[in-house]
Amino acid sequence: MTKICSYLLLLLGSIGSAQLSFAASPTNDPHQDTDQILFYNGVVLLLDQANTQTQAIVVAGDKVLDVGDNTLRAEYPHAKLIDLNGQTVMPGFIDTHVHISGKAQRYIDLTKVSSIVEIQKLIREKAAQLPPGDWITGYGWSEDTLAELRRPLIDDLDAAARDNPIMLTRAGAHSAVFSSEALRLAGIDAQTPDPEGGTIERDDEGALNGIIRERHQDMVGKLIPSASNKELRPSLVQELQNLFPLGITSIVEASNTVDYYPEWQHIYATHRGRLPRATVQLAYAGDEKMASFGLKSGDGDAHLRVGAIKIFADGGFTGPAAYTTKPYRGEDEYRGKLNMTEGDLRALIRKAHAQNWQLGIHAIGDAAIELVVIYLREALEDMPREDHRHYLNHFTIKPSDQAMKTMAANNIAISQQPNFMYTLEGRYTEYLDGQRLQSNNPMRSPMNHGIHVAMSSDILPLGPWVGIYAATTRKGMSGAVFGAQEKISRFEALRAYTASGAYLTREEDIKGQLLPGMLADFIILEDNPLIVPDSRLLNMQTNAVYLGGRQVWSKPL
């Protein structure tokens, strides 16, 4: 009982933590259990609200049993001892917006390419491996990291493999470049009108340049033959396991389908306990299919569960196509587009809410955010739900104070990606100006309004540290500072990437903090992220990862 009282006082910030120990089951005697591991002689960040830092942590089974100082060694004489040698332990990261998928044989990885010449080399190599005329696909290029400082265009792809249809998707997945053969197969020429919600780019003379924004999948990507689950499965498992070295122990897969969810179930049943915990967002597939699916947000277990319904309100910034209240910099009228009519957006929000789904709505531009907030407020007023956990994905351009007040009053949360400020700096400086540029991807403003904010990466890049660096320094890739008033503290950033993420999936009672009784999902870092220099954040190293008390990855020696 003494330990319980001490711990409650600690959470209130009334006493220090250095000499305290908290057991998960103080009424029993856990000290004789030989199935225990005691990590000691380190820095243990609980990431509780009191920002408690201790020296040791005891794990029993898949849960945290106790935390405290090094005197725990005497209290648990039968525990297996692991000397941390000054390393830092903290909860594993929870990335609440990622896109993880298996890769077909036709796929080339463009996430680390540094030039268009390198892209062409990869295309030629892939074309040589495939039958003549087969599709080549790839993902991850960004003009901001290419030596030519421009986008790859149709002539670049044709020069590398003229006879292959090619689709190379830009990082962020809001646009893609196509070869002539791909556009020919899709029946797209210079006279093809822009689709609703999308743009077919043309050069100054009216010829196609190969870029399609926002509707690239609908117009061309749909022609690419689907790879079988058998072909995709090994790489999907590998992509998930690749998250461990980044310190990620839980994810929200941000865009999937009810048709593919059984494959996730199969993979997680086959590899149980060896993959990051996952919550899978789903696209609304129509009333009949959603009813026959039979599951709702939150269904599943601690390893795999159903997430929110994903709704795309507007486009992204790599086009640009995010729906803004004012025209983009240098534009007289263009301010992006909604992905559907206002009426359809409102109806879909109301329908999914009425069916007791959680909603995770893609809203990047301030005009899109304002509309979504209005429609969510209306749905909540007409069909009240106390604990809906609806949230907005992205929240890139800061909306009005009134919109943020409405969000706070209606418990509408955010999954934010401050890493965009770093990796998309070139796009923002080209398309935005004034306060829209300075306050991009805000965190302090919504937090100050009382909005629950979780952090995530949206794989730009995948991993937490760029986002933590950007959120706490407000620096872009060039080193320029954007809106220093939007900075948050290191502690707030780490909490936003752990405990706050658990809240979005209704798991705040079982993970995201290293408290007795919670899942022992934690990482061991070589340095303490609360005190290292800013520049060190970009190169933080994970030494080991534990999921449910079991080591699932360690840094190679």
Round to whole Å and give the CA distance between 220 and 214: 11
Give the single-character DSSP code of 516: T
pLDDT-above-70 percentage for the chain: 94
211 found inside a domain? yes
Clarify whether residues 137 and 61 are in a common domain: no
Question: pTM for the complete prediction?
Answer: 0.85
Task: Encode pLDDT of 194-218 as tens digits.
Answer: 998 889 999 999 999 999 998 999 9
Report whether pLDDT(2) > 60: no
Coil vs helix vs strand at 187: coil
Clarify whether residues 289 and 199 are in a common domain: no
Clarify whether residues 362 and 294 are in a common domain: yes
Tokens of 295: 């599951």
Contacts of 397 (CB under 8 A, 6+ apart): 322, 324, 364, 365, 366, 369, 432, 436, 439, 440
Task: Encode pLDDT of 375-429 as tens digits.
Answer: 999 999 999 998 999 999 999 999 999 999 999 999 999 999 999 999 999 999 9
Contacts of 27 (CB under 8 A, 6+ apart): none
Backbone angles phi and psi of 145, in degrees to 5? -115, 5
Residue 434, CB-side half-sphere exposure with 13 Å CA sphere: 7
Between 215-229, 246-260, 270-284, the lowest mean confidence (pLDDT) is in: 215-229
**Domain count for the chain:** 3
502 found inside a domain? yes
Per the DSSP assignment, residues forming a β-bridge with 22 are 67
Instruction: Give the pLDDT of residue 317.
Output: 83
Task: Encode pLDDT of 326-356 as tens digits.
Answer: 999 999 999 999 999 999 999 999 999 999 9
Domain boundary among 187, 206, 223: 223
Round to whole Å and give the CA distance between 361 and 364: 10
Clarify whether residues 80 and 133 are in a common domain: no
Listed in sequence order, the DSSP H helices in 284-334 are 287-293
CATH number of the domain where residue 51 is located: 2.30.40.10
70 found inside a domain? yes
Round to whole Å and give the CA distance between 201 and 207: 8
Clarify whether residues 424 and 492 are in a common domain: yes
Clarify whether residues 215 and 332 are in a common domain: no
Report whether pLDDT(145) > 60: yes
361 found inside a domain? yes
The amino acid that residue 61 corresponds to is G
Contacts of 481 (CB under 8 A, 6+ apart): 473, 474, 475
Instruction: Give the pLDDT of residue 25.
Output: 40
Task: Encode pLDDT of 12-51 as tens digits.
Answer: 333 333 333 344 443 344 455 558 999 999 999 999 999 9
Between 160-174, 230-244, 376-390, 502-516, the lowest mean confidence (pLDDT) is in: 160-174
267 found inside a domain? no
Instruction: Give the pLDDT of residue 34.
Output: 57
CATH number of the domain where residue 292 is located: 3.20.20.140
Round to whole Å and give the CA distance between 436 and 432: 6
Please classify residue 234 by burial: count the beta carbons closer than 10 Å to its beta carbon, then call 0-12 exposed, 13-18 middle and 19+ buried.
exposed
Round to whole Å and give the CA distance between 136 and 157: 10
Q: Going along 273-387, which residue ranges are E strands?
A: 277-283, 304-312, 359-363
